[in-house]
Amino acid sequence: ESWRRAYNARLSVHNCVPGEAIAERLGDFGGGVLMSATLEPIDVFRRVTGLDALADDGRPVAERTFGLGFPESNRASFAVDVPKFTHSNRGPPGEENETRLAYTDAAVEVCERSPGNVLVGMPNYAEAEWMAGALEARVDKPVLLDESSDDGATERLKRDFFGGEGKVLVTSLRGTLTEGVDYSGDKLSAAVVCGVPLINTSSPRTRAVKTAYDREFGDGFETALTVPAVRKARQAIGRVIRGTDEVGVRVFVDARYARDSWNGVRDYLPAQEREEFRPVSPDMLGFGLDQFWSSVE
């Protein structure tokens, strides 16, 4: 038992598939509404939240889908077809290669051609730090970097971003600035999402959740990892249009959003978004941006 002198043992218990527990709680209510702009794909949401189990027990479960009620002419949406922002393609932060250059180029195009504030979301904080440094060297606007910090630091960063002339804010798609923050009015003119923010699949907890979802739903990587990652990306991209009079640009940068492939995520977007997010080549992004902004001036 010599290990006791060097290690403190800890046992963690997690409910990896909480659908039954959620269904039990929902079943206690006479009725309710589960509402969000990022529930799609609905079939996965119904399974993992226990709604299908409630329906099997005879509880009525109805679905309603509402389109974006803002003028389509006030927004431009692009899915830029560049190499997938996977670790095997991009390498570690700081490595110079064609993949990283393609993402920097796309972000620069949006930042330079869009008036006002631009939000750039990266898969994690390490990549956000890299992108902020790359943009500082090429963009005329001030570049702000969001790091993992306390609420006070986050609030100060938001005040800096919203005050004065146009700036660029680079953050993690798993941080607090890409969902639940209201960028209303002229606080944001463009949002850029780089890559698909999949969580680290090597941690014991993530492996346990994936295994549990494999057993329950047949494809744990899809239901436990891919679908939540796309929801995070959609939350971030939705920051830019918050009212009927607002105009802005939404840009997904990654081939997985732009085309169908074995590990593509385009099918996880709602039908309306698939129609709006036009696949574009990197060399045509600037033209599309200029065309949009000239049309709304």
Q: Which pLDDT tens digit goes with each residue over 178-219?
A: 887 888 888 999 999 999 999 988 888 999 999 999 998 889
151 and 254, same domain (yes or no)? yes
- Residue 6 within any structural domain of the chain: no
- 75 strand-pairing partners: 248
131 and 241, same domain (yes or no)? yes
- Residue 259 within any structural domain of the chain: yes
- Residue 228 within any structural domain of the chain: yes
Residue 94 has which token pair? Answer: 């700081």
Dmax of the chain from CA atoms?
Answer: 74
Per-residue pLDDT, averaged over 154-178, amounts to: 93
Helix (H, G, I), strand (E, B) or coil at 165: coil
- Residue 205 within any structural domain of the chain: yes
Q: Which of 77-86, 269-278, 281-290 shows the lowest per-residue confidence on average (mean pLDDT)? A: 269-278
237 and 251, same domain (yes or no)? yes
60 and 83, same domain (yes or no)? no
Domain of residue 137: give its range: 72-296
Residue 229 has which token pair? Answer: 């990652």
- Residue 4 within any structural domain of the chain: no
Single-letter code of the amino acid located at 14: H
Q: Which of 22-26, 67-71, 90-94, 248-252 shows the lowest per-residue confidence on average (mean pLDDT)? A: 67-71
85 and 199, same domain (yes or no)? yes
Per-residue pLDDT, averaged over 148-166, amounts to: 90
* Distance between CA atoms of residues 192 and 247, nearest Å: 15
Residues with Cβ within 8 Å of residue 157, at least 6 apart in sequence: 144, 146, 169, 177
25 and 146, same domain (yes or no)? no
186 and 267, same domain (yes or no)? yes
Nearest C-alpha neighbor of 115 from the set 239, 240, 284, 233: 240
At 119, phi and psi to the nearest 5? Answer: -105, 130
Q: What pLDDT score was predicted for residue 82?
A: 98
Residue 86 has which token pair? Answer: 């996977």
Residue 274 predicted with pLDDT over 90: yes
- Residue 8 within any structural domain of the chain: no
Report the CATH number at residue 214: 3.40.50.300
- Residue 39 within any structural domain of the chain: yes
Q: What pLDDT score was predicted for residue 40?
A: 87
Q: Which pLDDT tens digit goes with each residue over 208-243?
A: 999 999 998 889 999 999 999 999 999 999 999 888
* Distance between CA atoms of residues 276 and 262, nearest Å: 22
172 and 84, same domain (yes or no)? yes
Name the average pLDDT for the chain: 92
- Residue 267 within any structural domain of the chain: yes
**pTM listed for this prediction:** 0.90
47 and 161, same domain (yes or no)? no
Q: How many residues does the chain have?
A: 297
55 and 148, same domain (yes or no)? no
Whether the Cβ atoms of residue 135 and residue 106 lie closer than 8 Å to each other: no
pLDDT bin (cut points 50, 70, 90) of residue 1 is low
Q: Domain total for the chain?
A: 2
Q: What pLDDT score was predicted for residue 151?
A: 85
Residue 149 has which token pair? Answer: 């910090």
86 and 197, same domain (yes or no)? yes
- The DSSP secondary-structure symbol of 151 reads H
Residue 286 burial by Cβ neighbours in a 10 Å radius (0-12, 13-18, 19+): middle
Residues with Cβ within 8 Å of residue 252, at least 6 apart in sequence: 78, 79, 80, 193, 233, 237, 258, 277
269 and 132, same domain (yes or no)? yes
